[in-house]
Structure formats: C-alpha cells, structure tokens
Amino acid sequence: QRPVFQKPGGEKEFLNEEWIIEDRSGSAEYTNYVYNPNVSLSISQQRERLPVFKNRIDILYLLEKHRVLIVTGETGSGKSTQIPQYLMEAGWAQKGRMIGVTQPRRVAAISLARRVAEEKGCLVGQEVGYCVRFDDCFDKDRTKIKFMTEGILVNEIMTSPLLPSYSVLMLDEAHERTLLTDTSLGLMKKILLKRPDLRLIISSATLEAEVLKSFFHSDIESKHISSEILSIQGRVYPVEVYYMTNPVPNYVKAAVETVVKIHETQRMGHVLVFLTGQDEVEEAVSLLKEYSRNTKNTPGISSMYVLPLYGSLPQSEQMKAFQPFSPKVRKVIVATNIAEASVTINGIVYVVDCGFVKLNFFSPKTSTDALVVVPESQSSATQRAGRAGRVSSGKVYRLFREEDFKQLPLFTTPEIQRSNLSTFVLQLKSLGVNNIAQFSFPSAPPSRIIINALELDYALGALDKSGGLTELGMKMVMFPVPAMQAKMLLTSGEFGCSEEALTIVAMLQIESIFLFPSSRRAEARKAKYKFSVLEGDLLTLLNVYNGFIQKGKDKKWCGQMFLNYNGLVRATEIRNQLRKLLLKYKVPLVSCQGDTDSVCRCIVAGHFAYAAYLHYSGEYRTVCGDHPLAIHPTSVLYTQKQPKWVVFGELVHTSREFMRNVTVVESSWLYELAPGFYQYGTDTDAARGRLL
C-alpha cells in the first residue's frame, strides 16, 4: 500500500506516478552546483552570500559590550564557520590565545575544521585545527581557531580551570542540551566570574535563547555578567510539511516506501531520512540499494546513490555524505539524529522523518543505562524539517499524524536529567565542586540520580566516606572513558591482565567492529563465530584485536572476516593513548597469558553494578532491582547455554530490554570485588542485592 500523506488544511498527497511535478530544471538554483549554489564563486564571495554576513558588525559590537552573546539562527546560516573567522579577523586570537568552538559530535568538529581551513587557505592543524577524543590535529603555537567536542573542553577545564589559552569560547548547538553541554555551561558561568576578559558565545535554537540568557542571571553572584541575544535571519525557502493519514506499523518500511515514491515522482533533489539507530539505518540502506540495483536500467528512473550516516560509522564513510554528486544522481542519506543540527548536507530538498529518536535513560532503581526509542520533541521535528529548505523549496514527509505531532513534548528532556552521572560527578569533584547539588545547572538533575552517582563512585573507590576524591578517583578522572572502564584499567595490574584490559577498553570505544552486509549475513555470522568464546562478548573482542595484530593489520583479512578495518585501526590508536596513561600512573603492563578468569575478574571490578543473574523463570534479572532482562541477539552468548551470572556493558530497549557486551562471571566475584555495593549471602539473597 502506498504511503498516503495529508498536508494540513490541504488535499491528500498520493506519492504516485500521476503527481504533477513542477519543472524547475532551468532555474538558477538547479544548476550543476545544486549541492552548493555558490561553489562557482570565490571563497570570499561564498562567505558574503551566507546570511550571517549581514550580522558581522553586530556580532563584533555586541561581543565588545557584553560578556555572553547568545546567537540564534537556522542551521546553514553560517554561524559555525563564519563567527570564529570574524573573531579571528577582528583580533580576538592574538597574544597566543585561541578561539575555541565546541560541537556535540566529533564528525561536526572535524568537518567544520576542514571547511574553515579551506576558507582560510591553510592546512588543517595550522591556523585552524580540531581536537576530539583520541584524535587531534592542531598546533598550540600556531592554531588560532580550534574546533573540539564538548568533552575536550571539560577535560581542558580540569587541567587548566581558567582556560588561559582562550580569548573566546563558542558553545555551538547548545540547544541539543547534551550532558556535556550543560556541564560546559555551568563551568563557563563560574569561569566568567574569574576572567572578565573572556567572552562566551552560545549558538542555540531560537526557542531556547531566553532560557539560556536567564541562566546567566539566575543568582546574585552572576548578575553582573551581561548578556545579549542576536537573531540571525536565515536563508530559508518554503517547506511544505505532510503528515500520514493513518499510523504506520513499521516506520522503517514506510520510510523506504516514501523514498521510493519520491524518487519516482518528484523533481530532482537529495533526500534525507531520519531513523533512530544504526540497525534501522543499515536495514533501510540495504532495501534502498536493492531497489536502486533493480531499477538501474529502467527508463524514466534516474540513478540513486544511498549512504548511511551515524555516529559510529568510520569517519571516511561519514564524509561521503557531504561529497558532491552529479546533478543526474539523487543522493539519499539515511541518518540518525546526527544529521539533525550538527552538520549541514547541501542539496537536501526532501526530508522523511520517522518521528522517533533513540535516547539514553538512566534508572536509579536498577542503576543501569538503557537506550530507548521514544517519540521526538516538537523542537526536534522542526529542526529535521529545516534540513529541507536550504537550496530551494522543500518537502517534509512525517511518518505520523498531525494530531500526534501536537501531542509531542515541546523540547527533548536534557541529557543531564536522564543520564548516569558517575563520571560527571568525578569531573566536578576534581574541579573543587564539593556540593554537587548546589552547582549551577541550566536544568537541575533529579536528586536521586545524583545520589546514585555518588553511591556508585564510592563503591568504585573513587570517593571516600566524606565524598572527597580518593587517589584512585583522581586518576580515574583523567581517563577519557566512562568511570567503570577507567576503574577496570587502573586495577588491571592487580589482576595481572593490563594488556588485555587495554585492548578490551579500546575496542569498546568502537561501536561497529563486526560487519553484516545484507547479502552475506550468513557468512558474516560464521566469521564472527570463529572469534567467539564462552566467556562472552568482551573476550571475543579481545580475540578479534589479537587476530588483527597477528595478521599485520591486514585490510584484506578484515574484509574476509567481515571486520571494520578502520574501526580496528582506530582501536590500536586508542589503545596506545590509554597505554601511555597507564604508564603515567605506574600501572604494570602485564599479560595474563590466557588466564581468562583474571580478565573476567578485572571486568567485574569495573562493571559490578551492571550484574544480572538467571532467574528460575528462564529470564535474566538485574541484581539491583530484580529488573527483567535478556541477552541481545548479537551477543556471542545468545545461542549458548545460559550462564548463571553475567555482567553487561549497556542495555538496549526495543521489544524488551536486552543486555549487550555481556561477560560470564561468578557470583562470589561480585561479593569479593564490590563489598561496599553488595551484601554477602546466599544466591537468593544476592539476587535481591541492594545498596548498602
């Protein structure tokens, strides 16, 4: 059945062959440069065509007069690339100081650095550079503009609290309200009180601007921090929004059908599809590629090039989404919310919005995180729709009804109110913030989440009884990995398996090690089985890495074994950086020489809070809270005899809650290695384990 959409107040739109297509092939906006209408112009002319150029003087004037400038404007107006250059050209990057620009995602930080370097006529790493987790390209003596992820900024504040290397900080995409965004805002508010010469620019969606402005005047201490809001008028073409007339049972299938009908009936222009996660993206990409192959020589149907875009995709693959294509080829980008605001893909005319997003939620009751698919907010839907009106008039197809849209929350719940804050608490403690509850947050987290984080950090040995950082806690803060993984690394020498722990933690930073091409899934599963071990997923990852090293990091071998070559190369780089940190803190680098119990015990030392036992009903239950769980189908343990006790890395909520990155353990290890977290007793008592 064909998707049927309803335009509010208008006629139904059936995506069929009879749809009358407006012929605009001769207009200026449909030249060979539809992907960048100004590409034929010089760099300076391109910059002047951007909407933000009209506000150049306003930005510089307001920054002279005010400590904080909140800039609002649609994505694509040039805020991220141009404002740092205006500041540099006006002399804000002199006397050895830089202009720092934060981004929520690494792909945005890198791509923006490349674009700005191109506009400045320099190589990345010279006047313009970037720094993301486990990867940097800048020169501390030459770089004037540094793009970075928010986590890098927080780490720099921990090592240099007043940020003496910067004259201006720009927090871009602040409306996303990630945990690190709110952390950065709270810390910058304190730094501004100590550094009157420092300026802060916040880039945000319009509706969040007043909220952010009021945050900087929320207490007596900060009332003298002057701030102003500047709205940039974007160059936005009309966008028509269509809704489904009836709910769809499968939005992935509906998204694919909608793209097919757009391709067959609508004028040329690229398509951007929003889905919730990697699995959905890959499923849709596979179906669309199959359609493209089947219609390759069909008269009247132009070529289609389908590309995925999600956070764990190798960087080289991500960048393909931004490359220009022939005007005779329709590019279809199937993405997660990574494409919602942080990056701009030129040439998008059509947007297909599934209406959902995958978010991380922390449950204090079970002390676990879970990735959950939830309805998007109205603000998020508006951001997605805005992707369609950049180069011409566009159309947005929402795979839900108009009445459903009206029921959506206005904004997405800030991450700080739904996340595990154990690592965040340690970071604040390292900065001298002893009373976490009194720290100035743009949106205060629930007290139960803070208490849970303090309890977990204490159980990890990172905090003492008075709530202060222990020596171990001070070291854990310096590792760019979650607190539980940092504990695992720092205690690995005691278990005689630091080499193995390094490998496992490095591999955990890569989301997609195993590849499952749709046409060769059976072969890929057999290849994965060759690495599988009964101890679980983390030791399986250890086997994969060791095999990669033994084969001389051979790309061909990775292809034969259906492994992510770029991901494995990155894992080796991450491992080397973590190894340097272990050497710095004098952790002995030793191998267990095949003693898998040592490795599993080391894993428990960090992940004891994420433990589950096999219930007599045949399902798993969390030790904390007795919450029902199941082993994820992608786990190597899924087809094995069910172990009695396990620890896991994360939960994914789909039809039920599934454990991923599962390791087989002994119940006695939990009592032995986390005596401050569990009470010792019978297996039944432990199953009802509670926090002391």
Architecture of domain 465-673: Up-down Bundle (1.20)
This prediction's pTM: 0.81
Find all residues with CB under 8 Å of 211, minimum gap 6, and list them.
442
Name the amino acid, one letter, at 311: G
Q: How do residues 348-386 score in pLDDT, each as one tens digit? A: 999 999 999 999 898 877 778 888 899 999 989 988 998
Element (H, E) at 525: helix 521-529
Instruction: Grade residue 16 by pLDDT with cuts at 50, 70 and 90.
Output: very low
> Would you say 278 and 512 are in contact if contact means Cβ atoms under 8 Å apart?
yes
State the chain's mean pLDDT as an integer: 87
Cα–Cα distance measured from residue 144 to residue 125, given in angstroms and rounded to the nearest whole number: 10
pLDDT of residue 450 exceeding 90, the answer is yes
691 versus 668: the higher-pLDDT residue is: 668
The model's pLDDT over 179-212, given as tens digits with 9 standing for 90+, comes to 999 999 999 999 999 999 999 999 986 657 888 8
Those residues with Cβ within 8 angstroms of residue 518's Cβ, 6 or more apart along the chain or in another chain: 282, 283, 286, 289, 290
User: Where exactly are the structural domains of the chain?
Assistant: 51-231, 236-415, 420-464, 465-673
Residue 242 pLDDT > 60, yes or no? yes
Q: CB within 8 A of 420, min separation 6: which ones?
A: 362, 369, 449, 452, 453, 456
Number of CB atoms found within 10 A of residue 266's CB? 17
Structure token pair of residue 196: 């009157």
Q: Which of 57-66, 209-218, 428-437, 554-563 has the lowest mean pLDDT?
A: 209-218
Closest to 134 in 3D by CA, of 586, 504, 539, 510: 510
Confirm whether 51-231 and 236-415 share one CATH topology.
yes
- Overall CATH class of domain 51-231: alpha beta
Residue 17 has pLDDT above 60, yes or no: no
pLDDT of 15 higher than 80: no
Query: 105-138, pLDDT tens digit by residue?
Result: 888 899 899 999 999 999 999 999 999 988 889 9
Closest CA to 205 of 411, 456, 492, 414: 411
Q: Can you name the CATH fold of 420-464?
A: Arc Repressor Mutant, subunit A (1.10.10)
Starting at the edge strand that comes first in sequence, how are the strands of the sheet with 98-103 ordered? 135-137, 128-132, 145-149, 98-103, 166-171, 199-204, 68-72, 227-231
Give the tens place of pLDDT for each residue, 168-178: 999 998 888 88
pLDDT (tens digit per residue) in 149-168: 999 999 999 889 999 999 99
Q: Which of 182, 191, 259, 231 shows the shortest CA–CA distance to 444?
A: 182
The partner residues of 309 in beta bridges, in order of sequence, read 335
The domain 236-415 is classified under which CATH number: 3.40.50.300, 3.30.460.20, 1.10.3470.10, 3.20.20.70? 3.40.50.300
Q: Which residue type, as a one-letter code, is found at position 676?
A: G
Q: Are 439 and 433 in contact (CB under 8 A)?
A: yes
Q: 495 or 227, which is more confident?
A: 495
Q: What digits encode the pLDDT tens for the residues 26-77?
A: 222 222 222 345 556 788 888 888 889 999 999 999 999 999 999 998 777 8
Structure tokens at 366: 């079970």
